[in-house]
Amino acid sequence: MSLQRESAVDAHGTPYHLLARTPAHRWWRPLVGILLLIALAVVFLLVISAVGMGLAVLVGIGLDAELGFSAPLWEFAFAFASIAVLLPAVLLTARWAQRRPVGTVSSVEGRLRWRWLLDCGGWAVLGFVLIAVVDLARGQGVDVAAWPGWPTFLAVLAIAVTLVPLQAAAEEYLCRGWLVQTFASWTRTPWPGAVVTSVLFVALHDYTEPLVVADLFVFAMAMCWLTIRTGGLEAAIALHVVNNAAFAVFAGTQGVPSLDQSGSYSVWDVLPTMALTVVYTWWIDRRARRRGIVTRSRPAAAGGTIGAC
């Protein structure tokens, strides 16, 4: 890139995907960042595993031969907690390896824009209410006979409102945030990173049904596009959190949700969520433009002080 073009980019602000391309950027920093991220993720996972096992022993929860929890509820909670630890790993990597404010992973404003996040969350909730209505119309209602009782349901609900948002946010910060920005610091375009991270996102899930794999890939690519268009992760986080929380709460009415994601799915099982992804992406992009959501950083934001995240 020429000096003239560099100054033009600075004059108009920096788009989200280029926020890792700071004055401190060197070709080797992304490589160091990837290694540091893996190391931090392993350390945090070991810590959360030790804490979880220690608490399990204290309350009398046994461990199986593979060091898994014998209580399904504990296993369910740990599955989300073990992914949530990626969030601090990502933020620390941005700060330590890339020498940039951690808030620049959140948005072009150097922080998580909470009002915009809540706005997007409201539309995501509306979308899943409509999906629930469609499911009821298809006869996919709740089996009253499978109700597990209030203690189990409330425990699942507690996980849905505490750990699930952290897990979903962690995946967004990793796949739609840090990795896309890191690849773009090399390529200067977000799309190679968007494709690679979307494949990674699909691989992080155990689904093998082609229809579900396609649904996940569409979701991942749409959220990459929406993140770049809106200048931050808020819209993607909102839909991801509502999706996972809705699943946990609905499944919790039938007992502790299973972590086994294998099985066969019909087109009607996948079509509503895929349609929601497409409509949500179109609507939120349109709404962002109407609200004047900032999509580029201020000229000095990428090298400024650390923003809230």
Question: CB of 103 within 8 A of CB of 110?
Answer: yes
164 closest CA partner among 250, 98, 284: 250
pLDDT at 26: 95
- Asked if residue 187 belongs to a domain, the reply is yes
- DSSP secondary structure of 254-297: TSSPP----S---HHHHHHHHHHHHHHHHHHHHHHHHHT---B-
- Asked if residue 249 belongs to a domain, the reply is yes
* C-beta neighbour count of 5 within 10 angstroms: 9
Q: Specify which residues 69 forms β-bridges with.
A: 63
Nearby residues of 226 by Cβ (< 8 Å), 6 or more positions away: 235, 236, 281, 284, 285
- Asked if residue 309 belongs to a domain, the reply is no
Instruction: State pTM to two decimals.
Output: 0.92
pLDDT at 308: 34
- Asked if residue 1 belongs to a domain, the reply is no
- Asked if residue 157 belongs to a domain, the reply is yes
pLDDT at 191: 97
- Asked if residue 308 belongs to a domain, the reply is no
Parent domain of 137: 7-303
Q: How many folded domains does the chain comprise? A: 1
pLDDT at 60: 84
* C-beta neighbour count of 236 within 10 angstroms: 29
pLDDT at 39: 99
Residues of the chain with pLDDT under 50: 1-9, 301-309
* Ordered alpha helix ranges (H), the chain: 3-12, 29-58, 72-84, 86-96, 114-137, 150-171, 179-187, 191-203, 210-230, 234-252, 267-291
pLDDT at 68: 73
pLDDT tens, residue by residue, 181-220 = 999 999 999 999 999 999 999 998 888 899 999 999 999 9
